């Protein structure tokens, strides 16, 4: 079967093979073999686990078919990235999904509108490569902060989008107000005061 | 002589090294320095500042004498205004203000981190690299965009040099620990797993340092030094590689005192080879804190009009590189 390369980043490559997504982490020659193998194996395992856990908590994610050493086989989601179609209505639904995710104790770690796919009626969250389990207000705050930054940098009318997100987030997550308060605080901190890449 | 270019006197003294240099457009004309080395333990800010105050006259005298022999005429005085130890910064700033007033030339406050970057770009002749800046207190991955050096990722707690020094001190090595750890690591027989912490684009070294200290109870020093270096440097290189991928740039520039570590250079070089990127690092003498980097950055700033009045020359111990308006690029 032919493998078609979809993306190749610094960390992993995504290929499409017979309607199945293959995500694999490439070895890095610069680091010690022991470190390299440990990281790639651990990160692959954790990512697969988090994708499955998120799905259990009610957030649409690709179905995991198999996890090899450093490769995840999963469902291909055929749809459009939210960055191309985002509006207030969709932003509210993102809020609901992130609320469910945070209720389950999961931090996505890279919430951008490129990592969300609208397929039919459902919004899927993809790329859990930087995700981890954490129940702290701080981790959740940073998670939401990253998303707000994307709204600001790539979408017009970000205030409306943030407002809509907030509505959805409050619906599904009981500690939403604490986290949103922390987001404001994070924004005012020195290290975020000046713009980062 | 025939030199038309402006010459700048630069003074650096943010931490342990008091260093002054005279630089013009084409070369480093003169330099002089005096290092504070604690007899035991780490750097004490007040003791370092006292060292600077004691040796300031000699260092300035030396550099000006050497400069005079080369017919350098000072057009401005630049000093590192931050970040750094408050007492050290104030000592250096006081000397710089006095010199600027007595020579009747402009005063320039240079950001220490930016100076590391600019002298690296100058000496390596590299236009627009992704920068890995690693020193005692600082560990950052930066990249220039739109009038500022943007921080792509940085340490969440202590700098890599600080981490090495803390561990070294615990292991009974004299300050600075980095070079000794590098030496001892060569004798290692095996790697032991230590915490590898990269969160998003940021990294953390304090947990690693504690784990390495604990490991000394049951493992040979060589193995722990080796494992510490391999783990910490892999974290730095990983984030640097991501910055390269994210920005689409093709060059890496390594600056800062820890940049002198040959294992770190080797790892960056390997990563660059695999990504068809180019790796640059200035000579070791210009990786550690030095007066030439302050003088050279001062020259760039002078030519773009970024000078200070004495009233506005208060030091900035927490001055971040992404606060600097880059007026010369």
- Could you tell me the pLDDT band of residue A110, with boundaries at 50, 70 and 90? confident
Q: What is the pLDDT of residue A192?
A: 45
Contact B242 A10 (CB under 8 A): yes
Q: pLDDT tens digit string along B94-135? A: 999 999 999 999 999 999 999 999 999 999 999 999 999 999
Q: What is the pLDDT of residue A193?
A: 42
For residues A128 and A181, membership in a common domain is answered with yes
Chain B CB within 8 Å of residue A55 CB: no
Answer yes or no: is pLDDT of B290 > 60.
yes
For residues A123 and A58, membership in a common domain is answered with no
For residues A63 and A95, membership in a common domain is answered with no
Please state the domain count of chain A: 2
Q: Which of A75, A108, A136 is the last residue of a domain?
A: A75
For A79-83, A192-196, B120-124, B228-232, which range has the lowest pLDDT when averaged over its residues? A192-196
Residue identified by tokens 């609901």 is A96
Answer yes or no: is pLDDT of B5 > 90.
no
Query: What integer is the mean pLDDT of B15-30?
Result: 96
Arithmetic mean of pLDDT over chain B:
94
Q: pLDDT tens digit string along B243-285? A: 998 888 999 999 999 999 999 999 999 999 999 999 999 999 9
Strand, coil or helix: what is B114? helix
Q: Which of A35, A55, A75 is the last residue of a domain?
A: A75
Q: What is the pLDDT of residue A189?
A: 65
Query: What integer is the mean pLDDT of B75-91?
Result: 97
Distance, CA of B292 to CA of B17 (rounded, Å): 13
Residue B176, preceding peptide bond in cis (omega within 30° of 0): yes
Distance, CA of B162 to CA of B17 (rounded, Å): 15
> Which residue spans of chain B are classified as CATH 3.30.420.40?
7-117+287-323, 127-282
Answer yes or no: is pLDDT of A175 > 50.
yes
For residues A90 and A181, membership in a common domain is answered with yes
For residue A95, the distance in angstroms to the closest alpha carbon of chain B comes to: 21
For residues A56 and A94, membership in a common domain is answered with no
Chain A CB contacts of B152 under 8 Å are 196-197
For residues A32 and A85, membership in a common domain is answered with no
Q: Which of A35, A60, A75 is the last residue of a domain?
A: A75
- B127-282 belongs to CATH 3.40.50.300: no
Q: pLDDT tens digit string along A72-98? A: 999 999 999 998 999 999 999 999 999
Contact A31 B267 (CB under 8 A): yes
B60-73 as b/e: b if 16+ CB within 10 A: bebbbebbeeeebe
Q: What is the pLDDT of residue A194?
A: 42
For residues A179 and A86, membership in a common domain is answered with yes
CATH number at residue A13: 3.30.200.20
Answer yes or no: is pLDDT of A196 > 60.
no
Q: What is the pLDDT of residue B1?
A: 44
For A148-157, B21-30, B63-72, B200-209, which range has the lowest pLDDT when averaged over its residues? A148-157
| Residue A87 known to be catalytic | no
For residues A34 and A66, membership in a common domain is answered with yes
Q: pLDDT tens digit string along B190-220? A: 999 999 998 778 889 999 999 999 999 999 9
The complex scores an ipTM of 0.89
Of B191, B245, B323, the CB nearest to A10: B245
Three-state SS string over A143-157 comes to: HHHHHHHHHHHHCCC
Strand, coil or helix: what is A64? strand
CATH number at residue A105: 1.10.510.10
Answer yes or no: is pLDDT of A69 > 90.
no
Contact A197 B200 (CB under 8 A): no
- Determine how many CB atoms are found less than 10 A away from the CB of residue B254: 26
Phi–psi pair at B192, nearest 5 degrees? -120, 135
* Stretch 5-34 of chain A: residues touching chain B, C-beta under 8 Å: 9-11, 28-32, 34
For residues A68 and A120, membership in a common domain is answered with no
Chain A CB contacts of B247 under 8 Å are 197
Q: What is the pLDDT of residue B4?
A: 60
Report how far Cα A170 is from the mean position of its chain's Cα atoms. 19
Domain range for A185 is: 80-193
For residues A42 and A85, membership in a common domain is answered with no
Q: Which CATH architecture has domain B7-117+287-323?
A: 2-Layer Sandwich (3.30)
For residues A100 and A146, membership in a common domain is answered with yes
Distance, CA of B288 to CA of A186 (rounded, Å): 33
For residues A59 and A140, membership in a common domain is answered with no
Phi–psi pair at B205, nearest 5 degrees? -115, -10
């Amino acid at each position: 079967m032919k493998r078609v390369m979809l993306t190749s980043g610094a960390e992993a490559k995504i290929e499409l093979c017979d309607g199945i997504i293959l995500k694999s982490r490439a070895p890095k020659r610069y680091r010690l073999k022991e470190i390299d193998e440990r990281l790639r194996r651990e990160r692959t395992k954790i990512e697969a686990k988090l994708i499955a856990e998120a799905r259990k908590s009610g957030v649409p994610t690709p179905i995991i078919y198999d996890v090899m050493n450093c490769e995840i086989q999963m469902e291909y989601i055929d749809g459009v990235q939210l960055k191309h179609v985002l509006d207030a209505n969709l932003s509210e639904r993102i809020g609901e999904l992130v609320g469910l995710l945070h209720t389950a104790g999961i931090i996505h770690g890279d919430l951008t509108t490129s990592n969300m796919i609208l397929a039919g009626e459902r919004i899927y969250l993809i790329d859990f490569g930087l995700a981890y389990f954490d129940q702290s207000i701080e981790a959740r705050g940073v998670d939401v902060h990253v998303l707000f930054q994307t709204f600001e940098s790539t979408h017009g009318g970000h205030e409306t989008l943030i407002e809509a997100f907030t509505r959805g987030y409050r619906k599904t997550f009981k500690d939403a107000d604490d986290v949103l308060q922390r987001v404001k605080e994070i924004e005012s901190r020195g290290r975020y005061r000046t713009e980062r890449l | 002589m025939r030199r038309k270019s402006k010459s700048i006197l630069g003074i650096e003294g943010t931490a342990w090294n008091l260093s002054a240099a005279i630089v013009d457009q084409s070369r480093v004309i003169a330099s002089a320095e005096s290092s504070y080395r604690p007899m035991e333990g780490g750097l004490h800010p007040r003791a370092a500042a006292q060292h600077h105050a004691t040796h300031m006259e000699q260092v300035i005298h030396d550099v000006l004498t050497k400069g005079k022999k080369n017919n350098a005429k000072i057009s401005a005085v630049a000093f590192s205004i931050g970040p750094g130890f408050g007492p050290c910064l104030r000592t250096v700033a006081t000397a710089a203000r006095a010199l600027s007033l007595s020579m009747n030339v402009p005063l320039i406050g240079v950001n220490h981190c930016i100076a590391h970057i600019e002298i690296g770009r100058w000496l390596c002749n590299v236009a627009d690299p992704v920068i890995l800046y690693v020193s005692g207190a600082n560990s950052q991955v930066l990249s220039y965009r739109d009038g500022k050096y943007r921080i792509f990722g940085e340490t969440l707690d202590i700098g890599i040099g600080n981490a090495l020094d803390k561990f070294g001190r615990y292991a009974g090595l004299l300050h600075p620990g980095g070079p000794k750890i590098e030496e001892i690591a060569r004798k290692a027989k095996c790697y032991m797993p230590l915490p590898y912490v990269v969160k998003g684009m940021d990294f953390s070294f304090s947990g690693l340092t504690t784990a390495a200290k604990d490991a000394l109870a049951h493992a040979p020093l060589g193995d722990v030094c080796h494992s510490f270096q391999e783990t910490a440097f892999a974290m730095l290189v990983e984030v640097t590689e991501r910055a390269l991928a994210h920005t689409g740039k093709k060059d890496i520039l390594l600056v800062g005192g820890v940049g002198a570590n040959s294992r770190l250079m080797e790892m960056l070089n390997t990563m660059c080879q695999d990504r068809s990127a180019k790796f640059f690092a200035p000579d070791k003498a210009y990786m550690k804190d030095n007066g030439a980097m302050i003088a050279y950055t001062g020259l760039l700033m002078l030519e773009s009009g970024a000078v200070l009045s004495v009233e506005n020359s208060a030091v900035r111990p927490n001055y971040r590189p992404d606060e600097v308006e880059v007026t010369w690029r």
